[in-house]
């Protein structure tokens, strides 16, 4: 293609993307009331339900969708079936699997308190509008800061061993999540999420550098000036700039009804060991609009960030994020990253290059059917100072693109089927990556309360072609305080240039139980049936919530 025509085409694409997210931003005028993201944790798992605990379920309703966070994106995962003042009972969307203490995010409605206290709705009487529950809420508002301690501690062991000469290995993980909201009923809060990994034969590496084993995901103090503004000092992911990962330093935010603004000043973790590296200074700001009504919501945010290495610009970029459910039964999520800086032949340039974009759409035409699709396009992100010795291998303009589709159908009571497919490619790839996953689940087979799942995974890459077929059975006991699961998988892989295909028969058994209140034990054992080369895996976990 002619270079002039290519530049014109590139400029048109930039204009289209910029106009696109400006138009999406302008649509937010149709929303009504604000919302906030509330973080909870999985507190218990049964064969049919997932239980999630929050500080409060105010602003949540039966039928609401809950989300998990993956690669800085909110992914629908659970549907609320019932709720109390601090917990919700949910059904999963598709075949998503959870563990106790997994983080679950809810979009909680922020109601207009003044309107509720002074004006009854059309469907309630004046007496209902001033009932004792709402009077109690008013009393609570006089003391908005009340200490609350939550978290958990666990120890887990993962072992690999076999009847062959292969090296046996064991990894022990110690984890701690400890959060104190409103310390001593003050405006100060503390939060932490820390993991220490101990691996056989690796203690010398830990002695050389503690961060080879110690991973700090969250650690710091928060101070609330008011319900609308806060400052945080320490390590934390900012949900409005989640694409940059954790931030070590200072974060501030101020909201004005539906509008919020914020900024960060700190550093990035070390790119090799996730430890602290204050030479990797970064700073930036963001602005957003968060609107939510009873049935419609929208959130938009724009952020700009400068990342440095020893005071030299490493990366400068702008990001846009949008999520909404403006149309009935449709949820949309969109992100866009534009890099604003590059170095070519040691010459600095201020240019606009689209590096990453991600779009997902979820449609629920009726209660039993959920359809979703995704599009992902990303180029190599280049940090010009950190990787300056490898620029020739990192810089490439061609994007890797991927599509995904998924459908989940509740055929009848306790019967679910689903299919999920993916396609990822790059022009230079000889063989695109394709994958498909299908499942059938019956949660009460032969009225035995046994949950049964049949699944098949088909995979094709440039290196291999393979199929995995699985059968899983699980059942809850002792009022769902114990769960027993059994599984079998048939694995068949044809690996490129291998003489023979890889065939495996794998069985596993898992038990999870609440020993005493808030103390849980999980055991999982997996083994294959190969006569000559048997491999075994054992996973143990003991965890205590508080």
Are 33-110 and 398-520+528-535 the same fold in CATH?
A: no
pLDDT band at 501 (very low <50, low <70, confident <90, very high): confident
Kindly state the tokens that stand for 415.
């019967």
CA atoms within 13 A on the CB side of 466: 21
Assigned CATH topology for domain 33-110: Thrombin, subunit H (2.40.10)
Question: How far apart are alpha carbons 385 and 395 in whole angstroms?
Answer: 13
State residue 392's pLDDT score. 61
Which whole number is the average pLDDT over 31-56?
A: 71
Which residue in 196, 277, 271 sits closest to 235, CA to CA? 277
pLDDT band at 142 (very low <50, low <70, confident <90, very high): very low
Range in 30-39, 197-206, 379-388 with the lowest mean pLDDT? 30-39
pLDDT band at 144 (very low <50, low <70, confident <90, very high): low
Instruction: Say yes or no to pLDDT of 12 above 50.
Output: no
Check if the beta carbon of residue 66 is closer than 8 Å to that of residue 28. no
Listing DSSP states for 363-426 in one string gives EEEETTEEEEEEEEEE-----TTTTGGGHHHH---PPEEEEEEEEEEEEETTEEEEEEEEEEE-
Which whole number is the average pLDDT over 248-276?
A: 94
Q: How many CB atoms lie within 10 A of CB 272?
A: 10
pLDDT band at 139 (very low <50, low <70, confident <90, very high): very low
The helix/strand count (H/E) of the chain reads as: 6, 30
Which residue in 186, 190, 198, 302 sits closest to 235, CA to CA? 190
Which whole number is the average pLDDT over 356-377?
A: 92
Which whole number is the average pLDDT over 26-42?
A: 58
Q: How many CB atoms lie within 10 A of CB 268?
A: 25
State residue 390's pLDDT score. 66
Kindly state the tokens that stand for 185.
């009923």
State residue 31's pLDDT score. 40
Distances (CA, A) of 235 to 178, 214, 232, 238, 302: 14, 14, 9, 10, 22
Which whole number is the average pLDDT over 510-518?
A: 90
Greater pLDDT, 85 or 142: 85
State residue 53's pLDDT score. 84
How many residues would you count in the chain? 546
- For the domain bounded by 398-520+528-535, which CATH number is listed? 2.40.160.10
Distances (CA, A) of 270 to 191, 259, 395, 413: 21, 33, 22, 50
State residue 35's pLDDT score. 57
State residue 105's pLDDT score. 86
Residue ranges per domain, the chain?
Answer: 33-110, 112-144, 398-520+528-535
Instruction: Say yes or no to pLDDT of 21 above 70.
Output: no
Longest dimension (CA), the chain: 80
Instruction: Say yes or no to pLDDT of 4 above 60.
Output: no
State residue 395's pLDDT score. 61
Distances (CA, A) of 102 to 42, 49, 145, 336, 346: 5, 15, 26, 27, 45
Greater pLDDT, 206 or 398: 206
Instruction: Say yes or no to pLDDT of 324 above 80.
Output: yes
pLDDT band at 125 (very low <50, low <70, confident <90, very high): very low
Please identify which residue in the block is written with the tokens 């995962």: 77
Which whole number is the average pLDDT over 428-439?
A: 88
Sign of the C-alpha dihedral computed for residues 221, 224, 227 and 229 taken in this order: negative
Mean pLDDT of the chain: 81
- The pLDDT tens digits for 155-170 are 999 999 887 777 788 9
């Amino acid at each position: 293609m002619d270079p002039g025509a290519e530049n014109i085409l590139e400029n048109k694409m930039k204009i289209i993307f910029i106009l696109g997210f400006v138009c999406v931003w302008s649509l937010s005028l149709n929303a009504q009331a604000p919302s906030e993201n509330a973080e909870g944790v999985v507190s218990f798992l049964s064969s049919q339900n997932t239980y999630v605990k929050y500080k409060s379920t105010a602003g949540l309703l039966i039928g609401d969708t809950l989300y998990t966070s993956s690669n800085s994106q909110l992914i629908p995962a659970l549907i609320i079936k019932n709720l109390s003042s601090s917990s919700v009972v949910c059904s999963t969307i598709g075949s998503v699997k959870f563990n106790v203490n997994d983080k679950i995010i809810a979009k909680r409605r922020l109601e207009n308190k003044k309107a509720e206290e002074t004006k009854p709705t059309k469907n309630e009487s004046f007496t209902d509008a001033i009932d004792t529950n709402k009077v109690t809420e008013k009393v609570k508002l006089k003391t908005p800061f009340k200490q609350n301690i939550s978290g958990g501690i666990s120890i887990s062991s993962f072992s690999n061993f076999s009847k062959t000469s292969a090296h046996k290995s064991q990894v022990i993980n110690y984890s701690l999540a400890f959060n104190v909201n409103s310390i001593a009923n003050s405006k100060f809060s503390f939060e932490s999420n820390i993991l220490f990994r101990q691996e056989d034969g690796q203690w010398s590496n830990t002695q050389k550098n503690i961060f080879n084993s110690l991973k700090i995901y969250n650690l710091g103090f928060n101070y609330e000036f008011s319900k609308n503004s806060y400052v945080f000092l320490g390590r934390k992911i900012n949900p409005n700039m989640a694409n940059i990962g954790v931030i070590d330093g200072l974060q501030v935010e101020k909201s004005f009804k539906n509008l919020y603004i914020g900024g960060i000043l700190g550093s990035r973790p070390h790119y090799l060991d996730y430890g602290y590296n204050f030479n990797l200074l970064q700073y930036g700001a963001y602005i957003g609009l968060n609107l939510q009504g009873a049935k419609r919501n929208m959130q938009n945010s724009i952020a700009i960030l400068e990342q440095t290495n020893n005071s030299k610009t490493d990366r400068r970029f702008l990001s846009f994020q949008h999520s909404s459910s403006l149309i009935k039964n449709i949820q949309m999520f969109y992100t866009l990253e534009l890099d604003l800086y590059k170095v070519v032949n040691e010459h600095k340039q201020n240019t606009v290059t689209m590096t990453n974009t991600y779009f997902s759409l979820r449609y629920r035409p009726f209660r039993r059917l959920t359809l979703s699709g995704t599009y992902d396009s990303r180029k190599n992100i280049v940090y010009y100072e950190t990787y300056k010795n490898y620029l020739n291998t990192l810089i490439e303009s061609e994007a890797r693109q991927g599509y995904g589709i998924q459908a989940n159908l509740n055929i009848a009571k306790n019967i679910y089927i689903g299919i999920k497919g993916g396609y990822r490619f790059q022009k230079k790839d000889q063989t695109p990556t394709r994958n498909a996953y299908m499942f059938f689940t019956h949660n009460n087979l032969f009225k035995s309360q046994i949950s049964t799942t049949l699944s098949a995974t088909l995979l094709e890459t440039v290196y291999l072609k393979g199929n995995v077929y699985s059968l899983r059975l699980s059942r809850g006991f002792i009022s769902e305080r114990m769960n027993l699961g059994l599984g079998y998988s048939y694995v068949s892989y044809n690996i490129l240039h291998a003489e023979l295909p890889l065939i495996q028969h794998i069985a596993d058994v898992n038990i999870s139980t609440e020993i005493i209140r808030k103390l849980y034990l999980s055991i999982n054992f997996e083994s294959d049936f190969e006569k000559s080369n048997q491999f075994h895996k054992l996973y143990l976990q003991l965890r205590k919530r508080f």
